[in-house]
């Protein structure tokens, strides 16, 4: 009686397996002609399924175990279906190529993509952003030393990512200019917005130091941005409030007020140092803040740096005008 119940469950399982196979095939059937669908199917996995299932089908058939034989045969049919879809048999223009050429082409494509999933597990969070940080940092002095390029490529290759000298890195920026420094800081901001693990942020700090030292020539601009990035990463890891340096633009005429409003996209100045000033942004180091000041001073705008803890800034901002 127990064996009869098990056999009934086995045949019920076959019915469920057939329904499942139909639902899977039905979902793909209407999309089988799309190349992106064909390329998403692993032909190698389907072939392995055929190779491993065929001996079991023969064994179950010879033993008279029909429920197992039917279940295995269902898997074989599905594997054949996936091979047909994966090689693009129904994709427009593929029928003229021939089955075997389609099969070889699909296997070659899959071999190139075989390590994608493994690399995804090995890549750190924000790997592309890290490469952007390193690329921008290397170009702060407007020259990419061969040792710097080799250093960055070693990371890109190990993560399976493409990296090349960005055209933006050399466009309209003088060596060590605030615009170039801002590009490095902004890429670091984007990286930290991803909430990477604290351990990784610490490692990035060490990598940044290694990069600027690899050509044995640390420029003043590199020292400025590295000090700023150090403070950014430390603050992220420790989660504490550090004293900030605010860059303030103080217009000297109604015309300058309108010009600064347009430049900073801010409607009104804030209360600072007993007066009113436009806040450009807050930075961690005074040297970096002074470099940003130069951008606005070059436009004949009175610009200064205010150093104050966050609590003091908040209190002054909330004070009545």
pLDDT digits (tens, 9 = 90+) for 113-132: 665 555 554 577 788 899 99
Q: Is it the case that residue 36 has pLDDT exceeding 50?
A: yes
Q: Is it the case that residue 177 has pLDDT exceeding 80?
A: no
Res 316: pLDDT: 46
CATH of region 244-318, choose from 1.10.1040, 2.40.160, 1.10.540, 3.30.70: 3.30.70
Q: How far is CA 289 from CA 4, 181, 237, 296, 305, in A?
A: 82, 11, 22, 11, 7
Res 85: pLDDT: 92
Res 78: pLDDT: 92
| pLDDT tens-digit readout, 143-169 | 788 888 888 988 888 887 888 765 444
Half-sphere exposure of residue 25: CA atoms within 13 angstroms, side-chain side = 16
Residues with Cβ within 8 Å of 224's Cβ and at least 6 positions away in sequence, in order, are 176, 181, 285, 287, 288, 291
Q: Is it the case that residue 174 has pLDDT exceeding 50?
A: no
Query: Percentage of the chain surpassing pLDDT 90?
Result: 15
Res 81: pLDDT: 93
Strands 275-283 and 244-250: antiparallel
Under the banding of pLDDT at 50, 70 and 90, the label for residue 311 is very low
Res 133: pLDDT: 92
Under the banding of pLDDT at 50, 70 and 90, the label for residue 80 is very high
For 257, list phi and psi in degrees, rounded to 5.
-60, -45
| pLDDT tens-digit readout, 267-302 | 778 777 777 888 888 888 899 999 888 888 888 889
Res 175: pLDDT: 39
Average pLDDT over residues 56-70: 87
| pLDDT tens-digit readout, 211-264 | 988 877 788 888 999 999 999 999 998 886 666 788 888 888 888 888 888 888
Rg (CA), the chain: 31
Q: How far is 102 from 84, CA to CA, in rounded Å?
A: 9
Under the banding of pLDDT at 50, 70 and 90, the label for residue 103 is confident
| pLDDT tens-digit readout, 190-215 | 999 999 888 888 889 999 988 988 87
Q: How far is 9 from 29, CA to CA, in rounded Å?
A: 30
Sign of the torsion formed by the C-alpha atoms of 181, 185, 188 and 194: negative
Q: Supply the mean pLDDT for the chain.
A: 81
pLDDT top residue among 22 and 98: 22
Q: Is it the case that residue 170 has pLDDT exceeding 80?
A: no
Q: Are 144 and 175 in contact (CB under 8 A)?
A: no
Res 219: pLDDT: 86
β-partners of residue 276 are 271
Q: How far is 58 from 77, CA to CA, in rounded Å?
A: 15
């Amino acid at each position: 009686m127990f064996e009869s119940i098990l056999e009934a469950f086995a045949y019920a399982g076959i019915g469920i397996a057939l329904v499942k196979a139909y639902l899977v095939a039905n979902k793909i059937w209407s999309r089988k002609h799309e190349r992106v669908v064909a390329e998403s199917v692993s032909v190698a996995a389907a072939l392995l399924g055929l190779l491993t299932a065929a001996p079991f089908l023969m064994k179950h058939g010879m033993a008279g175990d029909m429920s197992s034989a039917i279940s295995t045969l269902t898997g074989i049919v599905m594997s054949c279906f996936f091979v047909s879809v994966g090689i693009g048999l129904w994709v427009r223009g593929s029928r003229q190529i021939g089955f075997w050429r389609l099969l070889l082409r699909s296997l070659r494509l899959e071999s190139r993509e075989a390590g994608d999933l493994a690399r995804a597990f090995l890549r750190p969070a924000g790997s592309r952003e890290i490469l952007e940080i390193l690329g921008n940092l290397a170009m702060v002095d407007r020259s990419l030393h061969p040792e710097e390029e080799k250093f960055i490529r070693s990371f890109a290759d190990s993560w399976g990512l493409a990296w090349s000298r960005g055209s933006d890195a050399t466009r309209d920026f003088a060596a060590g200019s605030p615009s170039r420094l801002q590009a490095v800081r902004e890429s670091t901001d984007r990286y930290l917005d991803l909430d990477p693990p604290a351990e990784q942020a610490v490692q990035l700090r060490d990598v940044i130091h290694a990069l600027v030292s690899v050509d044995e020539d640390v420029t003043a601009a590199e020292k400025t941005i590295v000090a700023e990035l150090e403070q950014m990463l430390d603050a992220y890891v420790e989660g504490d409030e550090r004293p900030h340096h605010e860059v303030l633009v103080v217009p000297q005429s109604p015309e300058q007020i309108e010009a600064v409003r347009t430049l900073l996209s801010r409607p009104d100045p804030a209360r600072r140092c007993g007066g009113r000033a436009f806040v450009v942004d807050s930075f961690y180091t005074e040297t970096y803040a002074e470099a940003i000041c130069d951008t606005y001073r070059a436009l004949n705008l009175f610009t200064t740096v205010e150093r104050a803890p966050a609590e003091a800034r908040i209190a002054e901002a909330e004070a009545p005008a």
